Structure 1
Amino acid sequence: MTPPAPLTWQEDGHPRSALWVTDHGARPPAKLMVVDDTLNADTAYRLACEGTGLLWRGDFQNARQLLQALKRRLERPARPKKSSTKHRDSAHPAPSAFNAHRQAQSQRVRVLGQILIELQPDYSIALRRAPAAQTALQQAFGPADGQNRVVSLRSLQGVIGAFEWRKNGVEVPALGENLSIHPHYGVFSPVRGEYVQLVAQAPWPAALKTHSVAFDIGVGTGVLSALLARRGAAQVIATDLSERALACARDNLQRLGLQNQVQLLHTDLFPPGQAALVVCNPPWLPARPTSLLEQAVYDEGSQMLKGFLGGLEAHLIEGGEGWLILSDLAEHLGLRTREELLSWIADAGLQVLGRTDVKPVHGKAQDPSDPLHTARAAEVTSLWRLGVL
């Protein structure tokens, strides 16, 4: 989370200020306009595209409707550009298609982030028909400290949505009947259950019978640590650089009664020592993340993937295995080749002991309107079993 920065403006002839809160590093708007229900959608869209922050003083539900109107304007199909170059095979879209998709996402986040809501010192919202979101905001941003804050309506909706995810949980069948994981704000939810099922079904390394220690690199919600513990690992040591992730994992492990089997460490990649099994589910796409949640999806320069492979040999006991959970979506987008991945494995002194594949079942894989549908439809998620040469 970017530390709050001061935001100042004039309102009713008086100077005002509040802390600017964002989870994706966006700077405070250079220009801010106080607006209400009289603002029409076309004017709001023009101002938002120009980078003007729109501090809302009208009915909260009308602000939500305005946000939907801006979304519809952003989703209008653009006129196709003429091109003198031939298109690549549709099964292998150019990286430029992904880059264009990311640019469109960035523009969408920037424009939709211009509708702003002021939070009172106790996190209440002094607008008509505003929700009571104090508990959700406390969980996301920490205890109220007596200062006003300004947050985008879109981020506020994300906070409220995350609160519901945390309260209700996500059922994970691989953990057992009626058992759930409760993701916190800013921690990626295990909604793509196919990778969890891969870990549940992979053959258990024989080395765990004599050295029952497993490492979970990048613990996130704690779902894989919980699964390893339930499968029989006497001790799981899980790491993460995100304090939010560690707090989330701690909460989930306590809910599942596994807190004594799993040790959580705030560190980059590997803990000290060696294990019979080291599991890692790194971000799958080599690109720069722009928000808390994107850190679980994008890994600029494949740094975490390369770091895991490069350090694995030193942290495996004899006969131990490393399990790499990785989608090949980057390959279908032209961002990484299978040859590159295999060369990184070999250069790290590792060999492939086996691989299990599964097709994703999430909605985007079956959505022809998705701009990356061709790549998503061909995507396969794999569990690579790696050993030392």
Structure 2
Amino acid sequence: MNALRPNAPPTTAAAPQDATPAPVLTWDEGGEPRSARWRSENGAAPPRRVAVADDRTRAADAYKLACEGTALLWRGDFHNARQLLAALARRIDRRPRKPAPADDPARAFHLHRAAQSQRARILGMLLVPLDAAYGVPLHRAPDVRAACIQAYGPAPAESGAAGGTHSVVSLRELLGLVGAYEWHRKGVEIPALGGERIHPDYGVFSPQRGEYVDLVGRAPLPADPLPLAFDIGTGSGVLAAVLARRGVRRVVGTDQDPRALACARRNAERLGVADRFEAVAADLFPTGRAPLVVCNPPWLPAKPTSAVEYAVYDPNSRMLRGFLAGLPAHLTPGGEGWLILSDLAEHLGLRTRADLLALFEAAGLTVLDRLDIAPRHPKARDTSDPLHAARAAEVTSLWRLGAAED
């Protein structure tokens, strides 16, 4: 993971501040009670037990404490903290895992998810301090201010000057913030946009898997010119931008996440399509009808464990079901709904093709066509991945759907 540039100016657009009271972490240090704001983008509660750790802390002792539920607040060298985190990860990965039956992919998936959750919990026990200006008051710490501003918003005005421990965050989350900021700064190249880049903000799904974007770039539009399209769950705005570049005169992108809406607007401005794009806060559909309604819902019907996982996991297929059920009422006569969906859930035994087709039928939809594309991501070729068999067989499809009564 690349560190931030030294003394990078914190000019990133700010995330919205949360008006709810901030959770507080408490601990004893040097015989005195201490407290600081607890930061967790995943909504995890502050650890109940905290021990102070530094460069003298052994990995074996840290691992034992973390497994028992005691967090370690780091007061030593920052690079040594990263090395300790890596040592903890190696110990976790060496533990024997309960094997899943080869003929039960759903069981393999759930065991994999449970192992991921346990791994994240243990690694999340190594904590680092942040001062009032989002500096890390540790030796050899990088400048993470810009990454924190993007994720947390501006430093609170009442916090005063930098220095000391104003808040505490897990080192794993902080490194994730830095990585997300680098994705935002560099952008993700999108072939369907002629190689131009989308810049995802922190907490907004990054379109690294470009094959689904390629499908939207080559599917035949239901009319030319097309006056209007809806992009349901717009996220970074990548699909809306592709549609606008293809000549759609107006694209309305919806999302429930204020971060996503702001991110989509900024990407539309960078790509020169802001005059044809409107971002609307909505649960699924905006008001009205359109001749094209596009949706790329989360592909797996499972419970997310972090904010960014809501782009991957859709509990009980809520978004998929809502999109299909509401689609006919939001299509103009002869219009099309484009559902972009991987069949990974089918290979994992989480949903069958018959289940999906039954949802189409129940919504009064008919399949006009289907475009398929194979995945290009490295996990499809990683034989060490517990889910390799399912990933290797995965196909992403763009389903062209129409209202049955048309």
State how far apart, in whole Å, the 1-side matches of 2:28 and 2:60 are. Answer: 24
The RMSD of aligned alpha carbons is 1.4
| Aligned twin of 2:200 | 183
SS at match of 1:75: helix
The two structures have a TM-score, normalised by structure 2, of 0.91
| Aligned twin of 1:120 | 131
| Aligned twin of 1:53 | 71
State how far apart, in whole Å, the 2-side matches of 1:226 and 1:138 are. Answer: 26
Distance 1:196 1:79, change over 3 A: closer
Alignment of 1:141-180 (within 5 A): 141-145=152-156, 146-147=158-159, 148-177=166-195, 179-180=196-197
Deviations 1:104-163 (A, max 9, x none): 010011000000011001111110000011111111100001441110000000111111
| Aligned twin of 2:11 | none
SS at match of 1:237: strand
State how far apart, in whole Å, the 1-side matches of 2:58 and 2:235 are. Answer: 42
Q: CA deviation at 1:10?
A: 1.4
| Aligned twin of 1:195 | 212
Say which of 195, 214, 221 aligns to 1:204.
221
Q: CA deviation at 1:14?
A: 2.1
Deviations 1:55-89 (A, max 9, x none): 000000000000000110111151656x9xxx454
Matched, 1:249 2:267: no
Matched, 1:140 2:141: no
* Matched residue count: 379
Give 5+ residue unaligned stretches, structure 2. Answer: 1-16, 160-165
State how far apart, in whole Å, the 1-side matches of 2:48 and 2:42 are. Answer: 17
Answer whether contact 1:37 1:59 (CA < 8 A) is retained.
Answer: yes
| Aligned twin of 2:6 | none
Answer whether contact 1:25 1:290 (CA < 8 A) is retained.
Answer: no
One-letter code of the match for 1:113? G
State how far apart, in whole Å, the 1-side matches of 2:347 and 2:287 are. Answer: 36
State how far apart, in whole Å, the 1-side matches of 2:172 and 2:263 are. Answer: 23
SS at match of 2:26: strand
Matched, 1:95 2:106: yes
Give 5+ residue unaligned stretches, structure 1. Answer: none
| Aligned twin of 2:394 | 379
| Aligned twin of 2:51 | 33
Q: CA deviation at 1:27?
A: 1.1
SS at match of 1:260: helix
Say which of 308, 311, 320 aligns to 1:305.
320
State how far apart, in whole Å, the 1-side matches of 2:155 and 2:70 are. Answer: 27
Identity %: 60
| Aligned twin of 1:295 | 310
Answer whether contact 1:220 1:245 (CA < 8 A) is retained.
Answer: yes
One-letter code of the match for 1:274? R
State how far apart, in whole Å, the 1-side matches of 2:60 and 2:123 are. Answer: 13
